Every structure is written in C-alpha cells, then in structure tokens.
Amino acid sequence: MRTIPLLDVRDLVVRYGAVTAVDHVSFSLDAGETLAIEGPSGCGKSSTAMAVLQLRRPDSGEVRFEGRELTGLTEPGLRPLRPRMQPVFQDPYGSLSPRQRIRDAVAEPLRLQGLRPTAGQVAALLDRVGLDPSYGDRRPHELSGGQCQRAGIARALASNPRLLVLDEPVSALDPSVRAGILNLLADLRDELGLAYLFICHDRAVVRHFADRVVEMRDGRITSR
C-alpha cells in the first residue's frame, strides 16, 4: 500500500478578478522530497505557493497536508498546523520585521507556541543556518541579503516544520551568495528530512536541486 503523501494538491484554482492565475493545478509531494515548480514570471507559481500555505485562500480545489484537508479549515483552525509548513520568501528583508532584532524574530515562532526559548536555543538555530550567534543583536537592515535570508530560514526552522515552501529563495541574491544558500538548504534537507516545494524561474538551479520538476505556463502545469 502506498503511504499518504505529505502534501497533496488537487485541482487548485486561484483567481484575481477575471484573471485565473492558477488553473486546476494538481501535484503531490512525499516527506523528504523536493519538488520544483519552474516557469516564467506571471505563470502562477507564486500564487500556487501562497494557496498551498493558505496565505491566500484558493477559489476551489483541495490542499491536503499530512492527510488533513486545509481549504475547509477556518483561520483559527489552521493556526496550529501553520508551524509545520513554513515559507521562505524571495525578498530576504521582507519576511522579517524591520523593528525586530534577529534574535527576537527567530524566537518568535517558539514564543507564539507559549515556549520560552533560551538564548542557547536561539544561538543553536542561528548556528545551524551558518550565522554567527552575535548577529542576533542586529536588525534586518544591518545584515546583508544573504545573511538576512539565512535568518529567515532559521526563523522558519524554529517551529520544527516538515515542509518548507521556498518562493524564489535565491532570486534576489548575488550569484556568489546564491550557491551558499542552496548548499545550506540541501544540507538541512538531508539532516532534518525536510520536504521542499521549490518555486523558481531559473532552470539551471532547479535541475541541480530538485528531485522532480514540474513546469508551469499560464496557470497550468505543462510538463512533469
């Protein structure tokens, strides 16, 4: 018997007014697997990511995560599940509050669960993503784009997720920094058994990184 996939998306539809951004998209993803969605800008791949995370509710279709159907859940019902699927956004500065110190931003997902993370725990998280724990005192604008993206990944890891939705995680970075982040993501996948839904427009990056690749054009999956 086949095991239940970690993420199972069926007939996902996202509309913005008259425009159908995501048009009956289906795919599934097993634990520890990396699936890349590749396509040009405007093809609906980021909308797919947002709909999978339920940060933008899809207009129709099903999103099953760990066997649970998400689209029917209310926002409060979703909240306990959210820590298990975390996004990493394209803009490294965009996912961190400009007012928060890195230390607090990384600790926030734990505090939200009512935990009181120690300085050692936060330092361990920063260390895991290759950031010196002394960076914890800084604010996002005092970090480089790559450092900031590492902090964003540390924050995503804090809540012990099973799935990371990587929405163009290296597109805003310099080519030299890019390789470092991709290597980090690959290491984390192996160490923690994470599954990745990897959204990217760069075919070269995708082919190296992903177990499977699907191509998206005009809101539809055209090849797999």
Q: Which residues make up the interface to other proteins (CB under 8 A)?
A: 53, 55, 76, 78-83, 86-87, 89, 91, 94-99, 108-109, 112, 141, 152, 155, 159
Q: Give whichever of 34 and 90 is closer to other proteins, judged by the CB atom.
A: 90
Cα–Cα dist 172/220, whole Å: 25
Q: Whole-number minimum distance, CB 109 to other proteins, in Å?
A: 4
Tell me the DSSP string of 104-117: HHHHHHHHHTT---
Q: Whole-number minimum distance, CB 21 to other proteins, in Å?
A: 17
Task: Report helix angle 102-112 to 145-158, nearest 10.
Answer: 20
Phi, psi for residue 158 in degrees, rounded to 5:
-55, -35
Q: Are 102 and 126 in contact (CB under 8 A)?
A: yes
Q: Are 117 and 110 in contact (CB under 8 A)?
A: yes
Q: Give whichever of 17 and 98 is closer to other proteins, judged by the CB atom.
A: 98
Phi, psi for residue 32 in degrees, rounded to 5:
80, 0
Q: Give whichever of 16 and 207 is closer to other proteins, judged by the CB atom.
A: 16
For the four alpha carbons of 38, 42, 46 and 48, in that order, the dihedral sign comes to negative
Look up residue 136 and give its DSSP letter. Answer: G
Q: Give whichever of 34 and 86 is closer to other proteins, judged by the CB atom.
A: 86
Q: Whole-number minimum distance, CB 191 to other proteins, in Å?
A: 21
Q: Give whichever of 72 and 114 is closer to other proteins, judged by the CB atom.
A: 114
Q: Whole-number minimum distance, CB 89 to other proteins, in Å?
A: 6
Q: Whole-number minimum distance, CB 6 to other proteins, in Å?
A: 17
